[in-house]
Amino acid sequence: MTNEEYLQEIEQYIIQLKQYKEESKTLAAGMIGENFTQDEMFFVSALNRRVQFIDGIVELLNTRNLTCAGVLVRTQLDNLMRVFAAFISKDRTSFIDKYLSGKPIRNMKDTNNQKMTDAYLKKRISEYYPSIETVYNKSSGYVHLSEVAFHESFWTKEDGIVEFSVGLPPREELNPILIECAEVFCYFTEVEYCFFQKVSESKKELDHHIKNN
């Protein structure tokens, strides 16, 4: 895939990402509703972080910065898993109280009375979204120095000559991986937005109950 072909294909993902950013405004308004509660402090902050990720990934895709795009995919999965943690927490009120006071989510328990470590959250959410485990493990290679960095820096040509790159744009052969980053990022943004939508719908019911009682 040439760089020209890449830029043409990536445009559809960038348009989608910008639509997600616009959608976040409606989601935020829905989650806050008419009666602001402590729950919204958690969910709106997670949504805002997601929007910042969207701004970042758009820039990285445009500049073909594969390493940082891979890191951002991994980070967005962390955000999703923590939003998921609120839904499976043993006591959401206690969960959010502890979160706002700075206590690590890994020390809190879910409905199965298990501590919600990253490994455990990855396992539980993969019951609903099986692909997350593979994507999480693969994108971790961009967060930690691993063989991913080696393969980006060194490669072998057909004649057996080894070439390397430092400080240069990624070679065109890596463009499909960038497309994959965009595809995965969009998919898990939709997943996380489904959770936010559930919060918005729940808040609407709460506002209606307060208004009529």
Residues 148-158 as b or e (16 or more Cβ within 10 Å = b): beeebeeeeee
Inside any domain, residue 149: no
Domains in the chain, number: 1
Give, as one character, the DSSP assignment of residue 146: S
d(CA 61, CA 69): 7
d(CA 56, CA 68): 9
Inside any domain, residue 167: no
Per-residue pLDDT at 149: 46
Per-residue pLDDT at 12: 95
Inside any domain, residue 104: yes
Per-residue pLDDT at 33: 75
d(CA 161, CA 166): 17
d(CA 33, CA 202): 10
Window from 31-35, 40-44, 86-90, 147-151 with minimum mean pLDDT: 147-151
d(CA 61, CA 48): 20
Inside any domain, residue 152: no
- pLDDT tens-place string over residues 139-180: 766 544 345 544 555 446 666 665 555 556 777 788 888 898
Residue type, 59: E
Window from 50-64, 106-120, 191-205 with minimum mean pLDDT: 191-205
Per-residue pLDDT at 166: 57
Inside any domain, residue 156: no
Residue 128: is its pLDDT beyond 50? Answer: yes
Per-residue pLDDT at 204: 76
% of the chain exceeding 90 in pLDDT: 53
- pLDDT tens-place string over residues 48-101: 999 999 999 999 999 998 888 988 998 999 999 999 999 999 999 999 999 888
The residue written with tokens 């692909």 in the block is 131
Ramachandran sector of residue 64 (left: φ over 0; alpha: ψ -120 to 50; beta: rest): left
Alpha-carbon torsion angle 157, 178, 59, 153, nearest 10: -30
Inside any domain, residue 42: yes
Residue 209: is its pLDDT beyond 90? Answer: no
- In order of 45, 48, 62, 69, 130, the CA distances from 59 in angstroms are 22, 17, 5, 9, 28
The residue written with tokens 């994959």 in the block is 180
Residue 181: is its pLDDT beyond 80? Answer: yes
Identify which has the larger pLDDT, 134 or 165.
134
Domain extent at residue 31: 3-143+172-208
Per-residue pLDDT at 60: 94
Angle formed at CA 120 by CA 119 and CA 125, multiple of 5 degrees: 105
Inside any domain, residue 163: no
Ramachandran sector of residue 21 (left: φ over 0; alpha: ψ -120 to 50; beta: rest): alpha
